[in-house]
Amino acid sequence: MKSVFLTGVGGHGVLKLSGILADAALVAGFDVRKSEVHGMSQRGGTVVSQVRYGNRVRSTLIPAGTADALISLELLEALRALPCLRRDGLLLVNEQHISPAPLGPNKLPYPENVRELCEARVENAVFIPALRVARDLGNEKVANVVMAGAFSTFAREIPVEAWVHTIEAAFRPEHRELNLNAFRAGQCYTATT
Amino acid sequence: MRKLLSGNEAIAQGAREAGALFASAYPGTPSTEILETIARQGDIQVQWAPNEKVAYEVAVGVALGGGRALVAMKHVGVNVAADPLFSSSYSGVNGGLVLVSADDPAMHSSQNEQDNRHLARAAKIPMLEPSDSQEAKDFVCLAFEISEQLDTPVMLRVTTRICHSMSPVVFDADAAFEPRPVRPYRRHMAKNVLLPVHARRRHEIVEERLARLAVLGESAREINRLHWGDRTVGIVTSGVAYQYVREVLPDASILKLGLTYPIPADLVREFAAGVDELYVVEELDPFLENEIRALGLRPVGKEVLPATGELDPDRVAAAFGIELGGNGLAPVDEPLPARPPVLCAGCGHRAAFYTLARMGLVVTGDIGCYTLGTLPPLLAMDSCMCMGASVGMAQGMEIALRAGSDHRRVVAVIGDSTFIHSGITGLINTVYNGGSSTVLILDNGTTAMTGHQDHPGTGVTASGVRTSSLDFAALCRAIGIRRVRETDPYDMDRLEAILTEELAAPEPSVIICRAPCRLVERLPLGRPAELEIDCPGCGACLELGCPAIDEFDGRSVIDPAVCTGCGLCAQICPFCALKVDTISRDPLPA
């Protein structure tokens, strides 16, 4: 069984990304469970989702420190979620900085060295400029699908056809090509680094 | 086909397969997507009700008339619907009636984590608890069968981790909808008119029904399942906790209860006799544990498991002294900035709360996005209790503050949907009993927090059909409020002037602040704010808590991608450093 913890900021596509991963795993023939929490997701708060797939999955929640992969769509949220990851797990981060909304004079500063802090703790940390890649493709909203493409190269148990099939089904016809391109760009990015 | 469905989508699919005639709900996390999915499927008649009591009452009417009805609400909604729920247990049904209670352990989006299993017992109705999406679908069909066979409403009790988790469900998505034929209706006064003389007899029938339900629980092994494994440890469990038990203790013997009220006494005794040590693993209260103790058994439960918050594999493992192999990474030493949800950029609620905070008023709040006005930097709310409470509580606070010679003025703040839900009755009380508090209705034209559902004020039904829309001002006047004002909250000086006038008046008043939700009406309010002169960094605009304004090197910076041009920052900048060209909106009557 593989456990993937996904995190990010509300409105940036964490739940869409976890949905694509879960559906692709199902298409690949695995038992799949996914958890998420709605309600506050559009209000700029932290959003997390957990996906587990394998021959038989029971709990949707991943025991602390056992996630095989942590995918974060934002730098600070990667740092916050680190305790979910097992020591030799994969950390995959979109190098995007989103400041939390100002909370008055006592607000803590956004840590400056997120990447170094992560790399000091996780051996297998991969940082991806998914926002830039998405912008180059013409729409920064597809950064989450770029991340799906990047993750797919680490999740060989899910065949590429399963991802492609899922992405084709997940978007309206006019957005399909853009999202498939985003997925391929993510694949290439990790393949070449 | 096999498809990933959330628990809520699976419940909707179950209602469809059961051929339900009708479904009703008031939106509330984590239950909202049940009715939304049913509405999207388009087969079953759907209604957003003004509150859960009305939702339940319409559903009871459908059931007595012979149709199958499903009614969904969050856990605290069942408190609102409790009156008809308890009495409909006596009347019974005709067509099947299923109440979905969506509880929220850990309070992801709620004000308490009450355990509604107690309500099924108190109402003396059967309760089913699914443990994943497949069971959620199957149990809805089963609940309708039990409802009709045993002439009782049935509670389907789910939790956030069932509602909002996805797991594979086998079903035929292309199957045509087969409506269940409506059963004939005939007048049955001794059953449906709950006069004391009738209700006394009905209560006896309810007790007989419970005995028959217990027999059903003993024999229905597809609902209450025994897994014999290692006999040293036997675990009784239900709902999502079952999944955690299977993961953490894959070899243990398990009695997995689907029908958790009434519990199958003989089956539990048989299970207890077959294991060395009996445990109960359940979320929140020791509900099953107490039922099992009443049988004279001595299970281990809440002395090793928490009664607060939700369970997870880690908490279950800790109770049994098991290591799950987590060798995870320690949290980062330095404290990280929090990222709580905030009012959106351009939200009209921000203007109202900034004004209220500036005026130093006592603010009784209510349930909705606007409860976020409590958080820093706005810090503009004194209380938030339950749906509609702000109005009655404002009057009560006023009584106490006056008696204590405290001359601060009290304002109730309530959203449009919440006002319709149960603020109206509080306002009638204020008028009737001579209160003089001021009620601010923040009308954003939607039920925003739960994901923008329509309500009687929006003029659109759950199935998207145009209908009449409630006129808040006319309603308030009709119940005796003589001072009704309507204003655009973005003009904060004007709002403050109106508040000052209304608070000085010796009679109750209502101020309706109209500002459509920015997530619904996505058009910008103006051009993004710009700094005209160098920002001296006084931080005044940061007190708005706007996600479009950040501080960098001691100066305020505006993110033009987030800014909606609402102009609040320009209104409060003491140095006139910010410039916003707002788009003029339709003027409102004074």
Within 10 Å of residue A135's Cβ, how many Cβ atoms? 13
Q: What is the mean pLDDT of residues B501-527?
A: 93
pLDDT tens digits along A54-103: 999 999 999 999 999 999 999 999 999 999 999 999 999 999 998 887 66
| For range B452-463, the mean pLDDT | 96
The reported pLDDT for the residue numbered A138 is 94
Rounded distance between C-alpha atoms, residue B217 and residue B154, angstroms: 14
Token digits of residue B247: 């993961």
Residue B166 DSSP symbol: E
pLDDT of amino acid B589: 46
Per-residue pLDDT at B46 exceeds 60: yes
CB contact under 8 A, B29 and A100: no
A120–chain B Cβ distance below 8 A for any pair: no
Q: Would you say residue B463 has pLDDT above 90?
A: yes
Cβ B65 vs Cβ B185: under 8 Å? yes
Confidence label for B590 from pLDDT (cuts 50, 70 and 90): very low
Residue A148 token pair: 């799906």
B114: left (phi over 0), alpha (psi -120 to 50) or beta: beta
Count, in order, helices (H) and strands (E) of chain A. Answer: 7, 6
Task: Give the E-state strand segments of B476-522 in sequence order.
Answer: 483-487, 509-514
Strand pairing class (B127-128; B97-103): unpaired
Compute the nearest-CA separation of A101 from chain B (Å).
Answer: 5
Share of chain A above pLDDT 70, in %: 93
CB B69 within 8 A of CB B23: yes
Mean pLDDT calculated for residue range A112-124: 93
* pLDDT tens for each residue of B109-159: 999 999 999 999 999 999 999 999 999 999 999 999 999 999 999 999 999
Contact A109 B337 (CB under 8 A): yes
Would you state the pLDDT for residue A40?
Answer: 59
Res. B176: pLDDT tops 70: yes
Give the number of A-B residue pairs with CB atoms closer than 8 Å.
182
What number is the ipTM of this complex?
Answer: 0.95
A43 has pLDDT over 80: no
DSSP assignment of B432-451, as one string?
HTT---EEEEEE-SSBTTTT
* Band (A11; pLDDT cuts 50, 70, 90): confident
The tens digit of pLDDT for each residue in B397-430 reads: 999 999 999 999 999 999 999 999 999 999 999 9
Measured distance CA(A130)–CA(A145) in Å, rounded? 9
Rounded CA-CA distance B28/B74 in Å is: 5
pLDDT confidence tier of residue A106, bands split at 50, 70 and 90 = low
pLDDT at B88 exceeding the cut of 90: yes
Amino acid at B253: S
What span, in angstroms and rounded, lies between the C-alpha atoms of B513 and B91?
44
Is residue B451 over pLDDT 50?
yes
- Tally Cβ neighbours within 10 Å of residue A31: 17
* Percent of chain B's residues with pLDDT above 70: 99
pTM above 0.95, yes or no: yes
- On the CB side of B504, how many CA atoms lie within 13 Å of its CA? 6
Of B167, B336, B377, the CB nearest to A111: B336
**Residue B55: C-alpha distances to residues B48, B58, B428 (Å):** 8, 5, 22
Length of chain B: 590
DSSP, collapsed to helix, strand or coil, labels residue B218 as: helix
Helix (H, G, I), strand (E, B) or coil at A28: coil
Of B354, B394, B347, the closest CA to residue B368 belongs to B347
CB of A55 within 8 Å of a chain B CB? The answer is: no
Angular region, B443: left φ>0, alpha ψ -120 to 50, beta rest? beta
Please determine, for residue A41, whether its predicted confidence score (pLDDT) is greater than 70: no
User: Which whole number is the average pLDDT over A40-59?
Assistant: 88
Distance (Å, rounded) from C-alpha B238 to C-alpha B129? 7
- Of the partner residues B167, B372, B550, the one whose CB lies closest to the CB of residue A99: B550
Q: Closest Cα partner for B177 from B37, B67, B13?
A: B13
| Interchain contact, B30 vs A82, CB within 8 Å | no
Asked if B165 reaches chain A (Cβ–Cβ under 8 Å), the answer is yes
Interface test with A, best of B5, B311, B339, B349 (most A CBs within 10 A): B339
Rounded to whole angstroms, the Cα distance separating B65 from B384 reads 39
The secondary structure element, H or E, covering residue B200 is: helix B196-219
pLDDT category of residue B330 using cuts at 50, 70 and 90: confident
How close A147 comes to chain B (CA, Å)? 21
Does B165 sit within 8 Å of A33, measured CB to CB?
Answer: yes
Sequence-distant (6+) residues with CB within 8 A of B249 are: B233, B235, B316, B320, B322
Name the DSSP letter for residue B529: P
B334 to A111: CB separation less than 8 angstroms, yes or no:
yes
What is the reported pLDDT for A42?
61
Closest among A158, A186, A160 to A26, alpha carbons compared: A158
Residues 86-105 of A with CB under 8 A from B: 86-87, 99-105
Instruction: Give the model's pLDDT for residue A189.
Output: 86
How many Å apart are CA B505 and CA B508, to the nearest integer?
Answer: 8
Given a cut of 80, whether residue A29 has pLDDT beyond it is yes
Enumerate the residues of chain B whose CB falls inside 8 A of the CB of residue A36.
Answer: 164-166
Contact criterion met (CB < 8 Å) for A100 and B312: no
The dihedral formed by the CA atoms of B101, B107, B109 and B111, expressed in degrees to the nearest 10: 90
Asked if the Cβ–Cβ distance from A58 to B377 is below 8 Å, we say: no
How far apart are the C-alpha atoms of B352 and B485, rounded to whole Å?
14
Could you tell me if residue B80 is left (phi over 0), alpha (psi between -120 and 50 degrees) or otherwise beta?
alpha
Confirm or reject contact between B331 and chain A (CB < 8 A).
yes
- How many other CB atoms are there within 10 angstroms of residue A22's CB atom? 27
User: Residues near B267 by Cβ (< 8 Å), separated by ≥ 6?
Assistant: B217, B218, B224, B226, B255
Contact of B413 with B366, CB cutoff 8 Å: yes
Q: What is the pLDDT of residue B16?
A: 98
Summarised one tens digit per residue, pLDDT across range B276-291 is 999 999 999 999 999 9
Nearest CB to B161; choose among A60, A104, A109: A60
Q: What's the rounded Cα separation, in Å, for the pair B410 and B394? A: 6
| pLDDT at site B584 | 58
Please give the structure tokens belonging to residue B176. Answer: 């045509």
pLDDT at A31: 98
pLDDT surpassing 50 at residue B236: yes
Contact A61 B312 (CB under 8 A): yes
pLDDT, position B294? 98
Closest-CA distance, A38 to chain B, in angstroms, reads 7
Q: Which residues of B touch A46 (CB under 8 A)?
A: 339
Edge-first strand listing for the sheet containing B362-364: B362-364, B410-415, B438-443, B509-514, B483-487
